[in-house]
Amino acid sequence: MPLASAVELFRQAAVPWWVSGGYAIELAVGRSYRDHGDLDVSLLRRDQLAVRRLLSAWDCHVADSGTLRPWPPDEALPETAYDIWVREHPGGPWRFQLMLDEADGADWIYRRDPRIRRELATLTIEEPGFHRLAPEVQLLYKSKGPRPKDEQDFTEVLPTLTEDQRHWLDTALQLTHPTHPWRGPLHTQP
């Protein structure tokens, strides 16, 4: 699904949401530099049913326990399920993925390590008409077993990161992956 179409669809949501994944990094860089195989839209787990109602006419499937199964409109997903694939109708192409993020009150919690938290108000960056995930947070998600596209995203966005963003990501990586190869470049001045 084109980014503009997803933004138009989600403008109807009465809950916070944001563009994430590779598009969030590309928006931070300010230019297109690679193809995207998918479009990720993130929201808080606590808002999942409101978004499922928004998508009531869509065919939604959740990746749960190693399988992709239908997501009924009234089902609250278990904590182990955070990745939802969405298409207009059964048999059609997948149009985007929903990613569920954890929160506690006004704090975002990294689902892979609850020691990593930050204020929800600092999680996203405003774009014209929508929000995108802060690049340092998206890089944290991409840091677990980085693929070639994740390495490219890191290389492209690194010069745009502020000292605070670099510090936040380095601190998070120190907790989750102390020997991660991205830590060295984070200490190098742009």
Instruction: For residue range 42-98, list pLDDT tens digits in order.
Output: 999 999 999 999 999 999 999 998 899 999 999 999 999 999 999 999 999 999 999
pTM of structure: 0.94
Find residue 69's DSSP bridge partners.
62
What the chain holds in terms of domains, given with CATH numbers, is 3-135 (3.30.460.40)
Give percent above pLDDT 90 in the chain. 95
Residue 86, pLDDT score: 98
Instruction: For residue range 121-134, list pLDDT tens digits in order.
Output: 999 999 999 999 99
Cβ pair 38, 93 in contact under 8 A: no
What does the alpha-carbon distance between residue 95 and residue 168 come to, in Å, rounded to a whole number? 32
Give percent above pLDDT 70 in the chain. 99
Half-sphere exposure at residue 143, Cβ-oriented, CA atoms within 13 angstroms: 26
What does the alpha-carbon distance between residue 184 and residue 121 come to, in Å, rounded to a whole number? 28
Enumerate residues 6+ apart whose C-beta is below 8 A from 136.
161, 165, 166, 168, 169, 172
- Per-residue pLDDT at 20 exceeds 70: yes
Residue 186, pLDDT score: 96
Confidence of residue 190 (pLDDT cuts 50, 70, 90): low
DSSP annotation string for 88-130: SSTTSPP-EEEEEEEEETTEEE-TT-TT-EEEGGGTEEEETTE
Q: How far apart are the first and last CA of the chain?
A: 34
Instruction: For residue range 132-169, list pLDDT tens digits in order.
Output: 999 999 999 999 999 999 999 999 999 999 999 999 99
Q: Span 183-189, mean pLDDT? A: 89
What does the alpha-carbon distance between residue 55 and residue 20 come to, in Å, rounded to a whole number? 19
In whole numbers, what is the pLDDT of the chain averaged over residues? Answer: 96
Residue 188, pLDDT score: 85
Residue 37, pLDDT score: 85
Instruction: For residue range 21-31, list pLDDT tens digits in order.
Output: 999 999 999 99
Residue 189, pLDDT score: 65
